[in-house]
Structure 1
Amino acid sequence: MTSYVYIDNSNLYIEGCRVSAVEKGLATSIIHAMGTGIIDHTWQLDYGKLYEFVCGQDSVARLWGSPPPGDSFWNMLNRKGFNPTVYERGVSGGEKKVDVAIAHRITKDAFTIIDKDNDSIILVAGDKDFMPVITDLVSEGYNVECIFWDQAAREVKEGVRKFTSLTPYHSHFTK
């Protein structure tokens, strides 16, 4: 059994910064942090620990976003032969293309290399923009899971076969 892991780096990082803001008392709750745009800009995610938590021995990990350089995760990816897909941020500082690129790759992999009877698809993102892909693949019999912070969209949590929260492990993933 192989796990195919698809990680939206920016979504993961920004929402982890919100969890950190709540833990540090900068916001009273995730709802408060989301509503007021409060995030902890000092929080750092240990990608090596994330990889160990999310990926098993037989995993194919794909990561999209605008990654920070020099993290243990990038060294691990290079050692294992993985190549992340990186997009430069736009003029406004936001990312474009990432959700569509991830959804496209999940779909392409599902119909070309993933064995729906034995393999699993793990999405590390909580954005409801992924719902069309999740809904289609689950209805086709694929094992689709989501691993993300508690504030993942309700539709995502309910649409996948299994949801695992990263929130209880936030301190473990903190550098």
Structure 2
Amino acid sequence: MTLYVYVDNSNIWIEGQRIQAVRQGLVPDIRTALRDRIVAPWTYDFGRLYELACPAGEQIGRSILYGSRPPANDSIWQRARDAEFQVEVFDRSIHTNKEKQVDIALSTTMMEDSFKHMRADNGDIAVLVAGDGDFLPTMRSLQSRSIGVRVVSWSHAVSRELRNTADEFIDLDPHFDYLTRPRQASPQ
């Protein structure tokens, strides 16, 4: 069995910021954070996310981190490269400042890899670290060819249908503290 890993960085990071907003008391609950688009500063430890998505001992085929172009001082992309992830970065829309192309690129690559590299007879699994219901057609296509799909996401940010359709679901909520990267002390 080989795992093929596809991570939507923005999905994990932004939804983690919503949880942080609740924890800091900026909003009473996650629904309010979602509705009012309230977030609080939060960063995650990429290596720990990877450990949860792909426990030790599992063979890894290809791993790709997708997201929007980060600020120059963002270290997560280099950390992903150091972990031998392929990194795919896209510019945000100049008109709306919204992320563009990430979900489609991720889905397209999953499909391409499923035909080029994944083998049902080997028990290969696609690991989707995201929760958007737009990934359902891709997931169903893989499953129709007996390729398993593991979804890793926050409970509030995963489509119910995506969660129920996945062969395996890993809920990140109980691991929030483990995933949280400690803030660096400011140099004096």
Q: TM-score, normalised by structure 1?
A: 0.90
2:66 counterpart SS class:
strand
Counterpart CA distance in 2 for 1:97 and 1:64 is 10
Question: Is the CA contact 2:77–2:87 (under 8 Å) kept in the aligned structure 1?
Answer: no
Structure 1 segments unaligned to the other structure (5+ residues): none
Report the Cα offset of residue 72 of structure 1: 5.8
Question: Is the CA contact 1:9–1:64 (under 8 Å) kept in the aligned structure 2?
Answer: yes
Runs of 4+ with deviation above 3 angstroms: 67-70
Post-superposition CA distance 1:130-160 (Å, at most 9, x none)? 1111122222211111000011111110111
- Cα distance 1:8–1:23, how it changes in 2: closer, same or farther (>3 A)? same
- Cα distance 1:21–1:52, how it changes in 2: closer, same or farther (>3 A)? same
1:74 counterpart SS class:
helix
- Cα distance 1:108–1:62, how it changes in 2: closer, same or farther (>3 A)? same
Counterpart CA distance in 2 for 1:62 and 1:2 is 15
- Cα distance 1:135–1:93, how it changes in 2: closer, same or farther (>3 A)? same
CA RMSD of aligned residues (A): 1.8
Letter in 2 for 1:90: S
Counterpart CA distance in 2 for 1:17 and 1:98 is 19
Report the Cα offset of residue 31 of structure 1: 1.4
Counterpart CA distance in 1 for 2:119 and 2:82 is 26
**1:68-83 mapped onto 2 (5 Å cutoff):** 69-71=73-75, 74-75=78-79, 77-78=81-82, 80=84, 82-83=85-86
Which residue of structure 1 lines up, in the alignment, with residue 88 of structure 2?
A: 85
1:171 counterpart SS class:
helix
Task: State whether structure 2 residue 150 is matched by structure 1 residue 145.
Answer: yes
**1:1-175 mapped onto 2 (5 Å cutoff):** 1-40=1-40, 42-56=41-55, 57=57, 58-59=59-60, 60-66=62-68, 67=70, 69-71=73-75, 74-75=78-79, 77-78=81-82, 80=84, 82-91=85-94, 92-117=96-121, 118-151=123-156, 152-175=158-181
- Cα distance 1:21–1:79, how it changes in 2: closer, same or farther (>3 A)? closer
Question: Is the CA contact 1:48–1:73 (under 8 Å) kept in the aligned structure 2?
Answer: no
Counterpart CA distance in 1 for 2:36 and 2:106 is 28
- Cα distance 1:72–1:63, how it changes in 2: closer, same or farther (>3 A)? closer
Post-superposition CA distance 1:77-102 (Å, at most 9, x none)? 2363x320011222122111100000
Structure (1 or 2) with the larger CA radius of gyration = 2
Counterpart CA distance in 1 for 2:138 and 2:83 is 31
Question: Is the CA contact 1:147–1:164 (under 8 Å) kept in the aligned structure 2?
Answer: yes
Report the Cα offset of residue 76 of structure 1: 5.1
Structure 2 segments unaligned to the other structure (5+ residues): 182-188
Number of equivalent positions: 173
Moved more, 47-56 or 148-157: 47-56
